[in-house]
Amino acid sequence: MQAHRLTINTDSFHLPADYDVAGLKSALAAAARHGGGFVDLVSTSGTHLALLVTPSSTVRFEALPDFDDLDVYAARPLLLDGGAFAFYEEDYALE
């Protein structure tokens, strides 16, 4: 299943693969359209969050790649939260 990352302004949240992304997008848009409001969500860590979304909030959804096949990502940089890069090295692969 496709996993997603939600970023609001500078804060990122990973969403469970089975999360209702379409419903969350609608709730975020409605909050912004009505001048602001709280939108509830549950992150992959199980944390329950109430996020205040305003018309000036920057909201971004990302569809994350499927990491089941890590060989695809060997020697390719992955952009981490905060703009840092990490590299997957085959020498450190888990068997």
Could you report the per-residue pLDDT of 29-71, keeping only the tens digit for each? 999 999 999 999 988 888 899 999 999 999 999 988 765 544 4
Taking 90 as the threshold, does the pLDDT of residue 28 lie above it? yes
Taking 80 as the threshold, does the pLDDT of residue 90 lie above it? no
In a domain, 53, yes or no: yes
In a domain, 92, yes or no: no
Per the structure, how many domains does the chain have? 1
In a domain, 83, yes or no: no
Taking 70 as the threshold, does the pLDDT of residue 25 lie above it? yes
Side-chain half-sphere CA neighbours of 40 within 13 A? 2
In a domain, 94, yes or no: no
Residue 14 · residue 5 · CB < 8 Å: yes
In a domain, 13, yes or no: yes
In a domain, 82, yes or no: no
Range of the structural domain that residue 45 is part of: 3-67
In a domain, 9, yes or no: yes
Nearest-angstrom CA–CA distance, 31 and 24: 11
3: left (phi over 0), alpha (psi -120 to 50) or beta: beta
In a domain, 36, yes or no: yes
Whether the pTM exceeds 0.75: the reply is no
